[in-house]
Structure 1
């Protein structure tokens, strides 16, 4: 499978999580992500994916890979893995830290769509690390296209 992009970052964590989301969408979830936490990853909404970490402030290692299609499962040693999907109506995604802004911001080569997301995690505290594989799966459903999604904001 062709690898489009690879990013590595150290992400400072202040409030026990970081978020993957569309650059224009900050869909809230009223605590749903914390209630639904499983394997350190919770799908907060269609447009936002929350990755949970211990609550104490520290830094985690993050590797983000963008693929042309669904990649094989990573064969490295991981403590857990979860697969979800994420709607990205602008085709631009950020990895965001609460109060810290974007750790990674990228325009995805395949543009807007529904993306598969596989999140792997291992370690504890400052030695915790995450691998996130992302790939385009399908066009956005008609109700999610960019014009319809933001139309109500401009009326």
Structure 2
């Protein structure tokens, strides 16, 4: 009986989950399209560093746990912020009819939202890309 109930629930929930996933992808794509070229370049660098980290963790013989605090800037800069900026900058999103304050807030969001992922991308590139290479190349002090 439990398997029949789970199949019925899955049949009911599948279209809703597919529609929600489609809307999330639409908002993410809108957020990515709003970003200027140099923010997209940092997105590409974050992807390269993230893939390098995953491959190095897979092929390392020691068990290394993934530290969420170290990969959170990559997740936020590549996934969360573009979804958020795509949602807030879309045409159906409106604050209501409150007058001039709404127009100012909408203009502020249209200007600032495409750049929100840049600090997170740069933080991840520094912590996981530049800093380990710098630590290997830095000359050892004699003290």
More strand by share: 1
TM-score after normalising by structure 1: 0.20
Which of the two has higher C-alpha Rg? 2
Using the size of structure 2 for normalisation, the TM-score is: 0.21
Q: Which has the higher contact order (CA 8 A, sep 6+)?
A: 2
Question: Which structure's residues are more often helix, by fraction?
Answer: 2
